[in-house]
Chain A
Amino acid sequence: MSESVARLNKFKNKGKDANELRRRRVEVNVELRKAKKDDQIFKRRNVSAFPDEATSPLQERSQNCLAARQWTVEEILTGVNSGNAESQLQATQAARKLLSRDKHPPIDQMISAGLIPKFVAFLGLTDCPPIQFEASWALTNIASGTADQTAAVVEGGAIPAFIALVTSTHQHISEQAVWALGNIAGDGSALRDRVIKHGAVAPLLSLLAVPDMSVFNTSYLRNVTWTLSNLCRNKNPSPPMATIQQILPTLIRLLHYEDPEVLADTCWAISYLTDGANDRIEVVVQTGVINRLVKLLGYDELPIVTPALRAIGNIVTGTDEQTQAVLNAGALNMFPLLLRHKKANIQKEAAWTLSNITAGKDNQIQEVINAGLVHYMVDMLVRGDYKTQKEAVWAVTNFTSGGTIQQVVYLVQANVLEPLLNLLSSKDSKTVLVILDAITNIFMAGDKIGEADKLSLMVEECGGLDKIEALQAHENELVYKAALNLIEKYFSEEDEEVQCVAPEATDDGFAFQVSDHQSSFNF
């Protein structure tokens, strides 16, 4: 952390940006959290609603003939408590079916009926694999609900029972247990760590410890991958470092397995692991995974490209060396595609990534120039969607603050001024401030080579001066000050006049003093 702050202080906008960049990543998380919360509220409402859906007889017929109609929760409870193995199996299957219908599964009723401990007990009935399977499925679906519902499953003692089943010789049972553990770990940091503490990682990894993973059917492999990704997921706290190091080699192997869903979930796992402090990024970088990630950036499948880009974007928030590793892997060659991607979200994430690369050393900025990306940056300012434009503004500002004079000149020659100034009409005062920073940086570079006047003219010609002047009436004081500062420094015609007046004023003052002395002498 401190190392990163130091680096940011050194390079990224001279100490101003450390918190800035952090903030931006937090923002993403806030969005995600919000989405998740909405999702839960959504689920809760649906559960409480509860009109039963009539099941078409056609669909029922095709299923096991045990249940021609839906059971009530009471009937299930009776069956489960009957002590008769066959009735218990039937009841558990009926419960599983109720929980598997797509609308309003009666999760809360099952919980309050006290069925969870029963089902957990069934998980241990090694003599009767069918009931192990049905109970696993039922519990999986209960754990897929709200945090409270998942917690109820955990309190029922399900974690160790499921871990025992992971290595079951019946693949379908193993798969269901893996899925259930995924649901529990996916609830958040706390339950994730409980799953890890119970020792789930080793058996899970042992499943994939085969020379060739193509022996598994795809759905099985997908479930294991997804559960592993949930074990890497969530921050505050992040997963234990030891666990990450334990899982990473398997993730790298999965990253070479050509199935879109496996690849997507693995990339997400990597993106979670890189979303954190620099030491966590370092662990991932050390595995040499970057080359593979860069290749995946070029895939057609959006579900793969999105997390791969997120992972790369996370890595370049790290140290200059970590960023350099990304550049060395040739990541910049992928950016022309990404910055013009048909999905606006990819454009935005790519721009965000780029902004963190231009926040690096000037040789890294030079690599951005060499990859021909400056024109893309300008283009994004012109026609990106609003979020992309915001990121592009950051990329430009970071560029102007860390770049050499020649590099800034190159940027200006690429016509960055007009679109940049146009965005001053943005409603977001943060963005406006960042743009004013960029303008100030550009002028400072101009000052050094004595071209500030020319810049003033360019700004004026594209209507930028009017915009800056208008900002003097901005409600945000920082914006007002920054705009005023720019105008006073670079756009006041009075500059010369002041200089002409100054000597006269001194003369007057001098004259006055003299007369003063004289009069005092007189007295």
Chain B
Amino acid sequence: MICRTLPGFQRVALLVASDIDALCACKILQALFHCDQIQYTLVPVKGWQDLGTAFLEHKEQFRYFVLINCGANVDLLEMLQPDDDSIFFICDTHRPIDVVNVYNDSQIKLLIKQDDDLGVPSYDDIFRDEDDEEGDDSGNESDEGSEPSGKRRRYDEGAVERRIDRQRAKREWEARRREILFDYEQYEYHGTSAAMMFFELALVMTKDTKDMLWWAVIGLTDQWVHDKITHMKYVTDIAIMQRHVSRHNHRNEDGENSLSIDCMRISFEYDLRLTLYQHWSLYESICNSCYTSCNFKLWTLNGQKKLQEFLADMGLPLKQVRQKFHSMDMSIKENLRDVIEESSNKYGMKDIRIQTFGVHFGFKNRFLASDMVHATAALLESTEKDESDSDNFIKALDSLSRSSLKQKCLVLAVQQTVASCICTNLILSQGPFLYCFLMEGTPDVKLFSKPMALTLLCKYLLKAFVHSTRNKRCKLLPLIMAAPKDVEKGTVIVVGIPPESETSDKKNFFGRAFEKAAESTSSRTLHDHFDTSIIELKTEDRSKFLDALITLLS
């Protein structure tokens, strides 16, 4: 870790982005603050504007700011213009990290895993000490039209030539710098989960608890569910978490310290990739899970038929499959996972099981980490009228410590809409990318005015599309999706995601592309989200923006 210092006994402002990983990281940090009796103020921030306002409101009272999952990918000092004594601790998965943040060690403290491959350009390649630049400032024609200097030195011929040489070298250096920065900033991606980072911090301080461990697991799972990290990275990090889980479980095994069965127990699972199946019926879960629905192409008649065959192959009675999972016969449940895996293999779904974690609260409740993510996401982006964003934030934060999933219905709605959207096949190929626009009036369209929900939909849609299309070229294209954001203001929310493939590096170039396209067409856009590939756009500017994007990317 590059930095581990936490501020002493001063009040701390805690600025937290609205994603599940950030919430989990926040829970861990809150617990740590609680241990050390550090006072803090928690401020949820949805985007750059929120962050700016939150900073302005708190900069007088606070010296220390902890930023979770926000702030790393812009020049923070430039953006916030803080006083010299404000100090920022940043734990943010957004990559690439702005180079100024990387090289400023007085006010910006980054919490990063040292073995995360950041690929930051070396200092000398992007910064030059002023001393080297003396050449042009002492010259008298530095800026056209500025007042002439009061004194001028007379150079000899050789010096003039050298000066020109140096200026040329400087221009070359600057061109190279632009190139390096372009390469570095071209793609957006995500690093190690913030929750995991804080868990490891807790570990170093020997203050880690089982709750913290569970939050770290959810944080990591969030990255997987929302497709932020590669499969490789997920598996590696899961392995790390597994070591911690078994350590914690061992600790409780020796007689004296053994805990009541009613306590929380985390276990490593090799479980099914079926969303919420334990809280639903198996049938519906299969229908609404991305993995199964895409593989069967359930939006086709043929797909439905295949599903029936699949169920028959497993030998599960329809009646059992369609009823609530917890009411299913124990005999079926016992080796359900093996049965499903076996049949899935026959149907080409080799990865139906995935390494994950579950949690048990006594005999009462059992959740998978991914189910927690879905439930919390639904709370966080709840579209119910009378609830403000910060209400949602607090509720979602609370839900992470509760032992039941109350907001299941909302999740079901999301899932079902995903399925129904896949059926409608709205995706158009625009040349360099695929494009889909959710019309106003589509059922549940309101849900998808929220960034996380729309991203999830986007991901499912692209998977489904790749499974259904025969066009080989289209399978390799990224997807842009737009949905109405605010009908009164006439804005849409636009999300771009990288191409779908098993080996995808999850690097996203739409952030830069969106900026360029907006600039060249002077479209009215709002780049407020911490993910640069999520923007808001005036509805009437949509077509010119897309045209510019097509030209830019072809």
* A binding-site residues for B, Cβ under 8 Å: 32, 36, 39, 42-43, 45-46, 49, 55-56, 59-60, 62-63, 96-97, 99-103, 105, 137, 140-141, 143-145, 150, 176, 179, 182-183, 186-188, 226, 229-230, 233, 264-265, 268, 302-303, 305-307, 343, 345-346
Contact = CB atoms under 8 A, between A and B. Distances in A.
B377 to A, nearest CB: 36
A305 B145 contact: yes
A11 to B, nearest CB: 30
A454 to B, nearest CB: 28
B131 A49 contact: yes
B159 A265 contact: no
Contacts of A59: 157-158, 161-162
Given A101-B159, A102-B159, A102-B163, A43 B154 contact: no
A46 B138 CA distance: 11
Contact of B148 (A99, A179, A268): A268
B431 interface: no
Nearest to A185: B150
A49 B131 CA distance: 9
Contacts of A179: 152, 154
Interface residues on B, range: 20 to 34
Contact of A144 (B145, B146, B148, B152): B152
A510 B251 CA distance: 91
B144 interface: yes
Contacts of A42: 134, 137
Given A46-B134, A268-B148, A345-B145, A141 B158 contact: no
Interface string B153-177: 1111111111100000000000000
A302 B144 contact: yes
A2 B131 CA distance: 48
Contact of B145 (A49, A63, A186, A302): A302
A100 B159 contact: yes
B139 to A, nearest CB: 9
B144 A63 contact: no
B148 A137 contact: no
A96 B155 CA distance: 9
B152 A183 contact: yes
Given A99-B153, A102-B138, A186-B150, 7 more contacts: A46-B131, A100-B153, A103-B134, A183-B151, A268-B147, A268-B148, A346-B145
A99 B138 CA distance: 14
Contacts of B147: 32, 268, 307
25 contacts: A42-B134, A43-B138, A59-B162, A60-B158, A62-B158, A63-B156, A96-B156, A100-B155, A101-B159, A102-B155, A137-B154, A140-B153, A141-B153, A143-B151, A144-B154, A176-B154, A182-B152, A183-B150, A183-B151, A183-B152, A226-B148, A265-B148, A306-B146, A345-B145, A346-B145
Contacts of A141: 153-154
A306 B159 CA distance: 29
A507 B534 CA distance: 67
Contacts of A49: 131
**Most chain A Cβ neighbours within 10 Å, of B135, B144, B148:** B148
Contacts of A63: 156-158
Interface string B117-149: 000000000000001001101100000111111
Contacts of B137: 39, 42
A432 B150 CA distance: 37
A49 B134 CA distance: 12
A186 B154 contact: no
* Top 9 A-B residue pairs of the complex, sorted by shortest distance between their CB atoms: A186-B150, A59-B158, A302-B145, A306-B145, A144-B153, A102-B159, A100-B156, A144-B151, A183-B151
A264 B148 contact: yes
Contacts of A45: 131
A264 B148 CA distance: 9
A233 B148 CA distance: 11
Interface in B83-135: 131, 134-135
A101 B148 contact: no
A43 B145 CA distance: 22
A187 B151 contact: yes
A59 B155 CA distance: 13
Contact of B135 (A43, A96, A97, A102): A102
A36 B159 contact: no
A69 to B, nearest CB: 13
Contacts of A105: 153
B224 to A, nearest CB: 43
Contacts of B144: 302-303
B134 A233 contact: no
Contacts of B158: 55-56, 59-60, 62-63, 101
A62 B157 contact: yes
Contacts of A183: 150-152
Nearest to A53: B162
**Most chain A Cβ neighbours within 10 Å, of B151, B153, B157:** B151
Contacts of B159: 100-102
Contacts of B160: 102
A101 B156 contact: yes
Contacts of B153: 99-100, 105, 140-141, 144
B156 A186 contact: no
A109 B152 CA distance: 19
**Most chain A Cβ neighbours within 10 Å, of B146, B147, B160:** B147
B80 to A, nearest CB: 14
A62 B138 CA distance: 25
A492 B204 CA distance: 63
A36 B135 contact: no
B156 A233 contact: no
A346 B145 CA distance: 9
B203 to A, nearest CB: 45
A343 B145 contact: yes
Given A43-B138, A59-B162, A100 B145 contact: no
A228 to B, nearest CB: 12
A439 B149 CA distance: 42
Contacts of B149: 39, 186
Nearest to A60: B158
Nearest to A265: B148
A133 to B, nearest CB: 11
B186 to A, nearest CB: 30
B156 A187 contact: no
Interface string B427-461: 00000000000000000000000000000000000
Nearest to A100: B156
A150 B162 contact: no
A229 B148 contact: yes
A404 B91 CA distance: 61
B150 A233 contact: yes
Nearest to A230: B150
Contacts of A145: 151
Contacts of B162: 56, 59, 102
Contacts of B138: 43, 46, 102
A100 B154 CA distance: 6
Contacts of B161: 59
A264 B157 CA distance: 25
Nearest to A149: B151
A7 B159 CA distance: 54
A99 to B, nearest CB: 8
A145 B146 CA distance: 20
Contacts of B131: 45-46, 49
Contacts of A39: 137, 149
A55 B157 CA distance: 12
A194 to B, nearest CB: 15
A141 B152 CA distance: 8
Nearest to A234: B150
Nearest to A43: B138
A489 to B, nearest CB: 32
Nearest to B158: A59
A97 B155 CA distance: 8
A86 B180 CA distance: 55
Contacts of A182: 151-152
A268 B147 CA distance: 7
